[in-house]
Chains A and B, each alone.
Chain A
Amino acid sequence: MEVSNGLHAMTAEELARFVLDQQELFILDVRNEEDYRNWRIEGERIKSINLPYFTLLEGVEPALARIPADRPVLVVCAKEGSSKFVAERLVEAGRSPVYYLEGGMKSWSEHLAPVKIGELADGGALYQFVRLGKGCLSYMIVSGEEAAIVDTARMTDVYERFAAELGVKIKHTIDTHLHADHLSGGRKLADRSGAAYWLPLKDATEVIFHYDSLEEGREIVVGDTAIRIHPIHSPGHTIGSTSLLVDERYLLSGDILFVESIGRPDLAGLAEDWVGDLRETLYERYRGLPQDLIVLPAHFGQVSELGEGGKVMARLSDLYRSNPGLNIADEEAFRREVTENLPPQPNAYQAIRQANMGKQTPDEDEQREMEIGPNRCAVHDQ
């Protein structure tokens, strides 16, 4: 969309292509220094600098000196206004092409797109929805004319549209645990689709709505020819955390095991209590599973975890070799690693937990505000 000569809008979707395809892009982030330090757009070949817009009110010369003249530049701010303001001045100063991010970091935080992970038995398929801005991953398991969604994000319309495109009906929404970093869309999507909403019983002791108890021994079936989802109790990030074994090939590990890190046990305030569970899940339960399972986590923390086409996945046996969280032999060292010097908690994590239990009902703007920032669910996040 051309606004005026040399000034263009870039959508979050277009920006996502730069990250997923590892293309080069130069970003001028004009938010304040603290916001930039906490959370910014990252990619293998994305270079960004931070100059708050209020340092550029007298003129954009400080920015001109630091932006390469021969390349496109994307100006980014929280909501859009300031980036457009600065971008217009860059164009006036003769730079072209100059882009601003439509909807700012708020849109970036909300963007998610499906990537196909692989085929399942009898023509089924598994899709990963990558929420680049926040590092959240959710999944759609499709078989026959049915679908199940795992760790649904708040933007439920994305799944509804995708299910409609595939011509399937959403029958189940499943949360692997009570989330603390983002608002779950699981219950809302279930209500809208007439689906069942599954949540681990032990994480649901305070919830005030109806759910189906996700527990070991129960089986969730998708489609006539039956893609089976087996819950495996894998506590540690939360007490109820449950992994899903899908089609005997994929292990949806929730927030227990990531590609380059492991889940943090402290977000419900019970780190010391849950350390033992976390240790047992990672060093005993997961060890006992078939080692050729493909691990599909609910988050990524660094862009280096994004693979080809943006997929986030790894073989379980490879993770036992390379993931630092799976290679701490000493139990005491492990305890220290997962309870001391942890990264800051995710933004508004306590309010988010309350909302995911149904105890708070924030409006749309408040929901956006609560979800600002990275997920920070891993022990090794920044």
Chain B
Amino acid sequence: MPDIQADQTLDCRGLACPMPIVKTKKAMDQLQAGQVIEVQATDRGSLADMQGWAKNTGHLYLGTIEEGNLLRHYLRKASPDETKELKKHPYTVSNEELAKKMESGGRQVTILDVREPAEFAFRRLPGSISIPLGALESRLDELDPEAEIHVICRTGTRSDLACQLLADKGFKQVKNVVPGISDWNGPTEQDNI
């Protein structure tokens, strides 16, 4: 049996839906951001519901270990700036829409990648430019405030923050690419390593 460290263990064995989620929510409210909770449940329905609830709230569903009838769910509490209550940049473009634009517009399409340089080096969209989120504010002069800019990261969170920053600074046409590179099926490139 794999041994996974958790900051708290919550016993929901024998409880039927909705109680496992109700109790997990209460326990999660008491945790610090970044802490991990293990929820033990016997209700099979709790598997899909844990995943759905986590997706809905922004907490990270890590995985489930099954031992006979026992399900051990692991979840990590999101920090306030990761949860969904946060204000979102209103303009988005889907991976598929961006792929279509790239097909028809080629290198004319501006794609700003705000991940870390190492992430960018290993896998990126062809023709995208790299400015990590942390450096964005000091490198605004590299970008055209009038141009349509597609901002991308791994899952759409950092790029959302980047979009909001750019919009604040007077950029007219910034769009967040969702969900981002984690789900990208189109062409990619990498450094010659």
Contact = CB atoms under 8 A, between A and B. Distances in A.
Interface of A: 32-35, 52-55, 57, 77-79, 81-82, 85, 369
B53 interface: yes
A53 B24 CA distance: 14
B44 A77 contact: no
B188 to A, nearest CB: 29
B45 interface: yes
7 contacts: A32-B51, A53-B18, A55-B56, A57-B18, A57-B22, A82-B18, A85-B22
B52 A33 contact: yes
Contacts of B71: none
A32 B44 CA distance: 13
Contacts of B16: 79, 81
A52 B56 contact: yes
B52 A79 contact: no
A298 to B, nearest CB: 29
B182 to A, nearest CB: 19
Given A52-B56, A54-B52, A54-B53, 15 more contacts: A32-B49, A32-B52, A33-B52, A35-B48, A52-B52, A53-B17, A54-B21, A54-B49, A54-B56, A55-B56, A57-B25, A81-B19, A82-B17, A85-B18, A85-B22
B21 A79 contact: no
Contact of B17 (A34, A57, A81, A369): A81
A168 B10 CA distance: 55
A57 B16 CA distance: 16
Interface string B107-136: 000000000000000000000000000000
Contacts of B25: 54, 57
Contacts of B45: 78-79
Interface in B120-157: none
Nearest to B19: A81
Contacts of B22: 57, 85
A63 to B, nearest CB: 14
Interface in B43-91: 44-45, 48-49, 51-53, 56
B18 A81 contact: yes
B161 to A, nearest CB: 24
A369 B52 contact: no
Q: Which of A33, A79, A81 has the most CB of B within 10 A?
A: A81
Nearest to B50: A54
A78 B44 CA distance: 11
A348 B162 CA distance: 45
Contact of B44 (A33, A82, A85, A369): A369
A14 to B, nearest CB: 22
Q: Which of A34, A53, A77, A79 has the most CB of B within 10 A?
A: A53
Contact of A77 (B17, B19, B48): B17
A369 B25 CA distance: 27
Contacts of A81: 16-19
B21 A57 contact: yes
B22 to A, nearest CB: 6
Given A54-B56, A57-B25, A32 B17 contact: no
A78 B17 contact: yes
Contacts of B49: 32, 52, 54
A36 to B, nearest CB: 11
A82 B16 CA distance: 9
Contacts of A77: 17
Nearest to B56: A55
Contacts of B18: 53-54, 57, 81-82, 85
A263 B19 CA distance: 41
Contacts of B48: 32, 34-35
A55 B53 CA distance: 7
A161 B52 CA distance: 41
